[in-house]
Structure 1
Amino acid sequence: MDRKQQFEQLKQLQEIDFVLVELNLYLDTHPGDMNALQQFNWYAQERAKLAAAYEQQYGPLTNFGHSLNQYPCGWDESPWPWEL
């Protein structure tokens, strides 16, 4: 397992999460800004793609049924994303 690549993918997800939070806050006060809404949707789709690729290779990012898991990878394997 390439930890450097795993760390880089997590970093990309965190960067997109930051952008999504900022756009979400902006859209709370500017709901009619179509450009911001398009940006939000684009980043949301990008995040979904990156998260799916990460989970396919390294296992679930979240629990409570928000991430799929496959045998044999996942539950008993580390590091967990927050341990990197």
Structure 2
Amino acid sequence: MSAILDEEYYKLLHELQAIDFVLVELNLYLDTHPTDVNAIQQYNQFAQVRQQVAHNYESRYGPLKHFGQSLSGVPWSWNDTPWPWQV
């Protein structure tokens, strides 16, 4: 059974995708510029923001990661659809 999703669901997913893009790009940059203090600070800043946004998403809509990296509500919420990659 699919849940009815509100605008906030899509807003949070879009925000997570944008933050993940920034983190991947900074990660690649830091692979070749490991002493760039500004880039490291930006990476850490975006990593913290991602944790907050992911926590906000998961508290409303369920887990994003598996194998203990995300908590589950009761009842077990892994079979609740749609999953983030289905929207």
TM-score by length of 1: 0.91
Aligned amino acid, residue 82 of structure 2: P
SS at match of 2:85: helix
Relative contact order higher in (CA < 8 Å, ≥ 6 apart): 2
Aligned to 2:77: 74
TM-score w.r.t. the length of structure 2 is 0.88
The aligned counterpart of 1:3 is 6
Provide the identity percentage.
Answer: 54
| CA RMSD, 1 decimal | 1.3
Per the TM alignment, residue 75 of structure 1 is displaced from its structure 2 partner at its CA by: 2.2
Q: Where in structure 2 are there 5+ consecutive unaligned residues?
A: none
Contact 1:58 1:74 in 2 (8 A): no
Instruction: Say how many residue pairs are matched.
Output: 84
Runs of 4 or more consecutive aligned structure 1 residues displaced over 6 Å after TM superposition: none
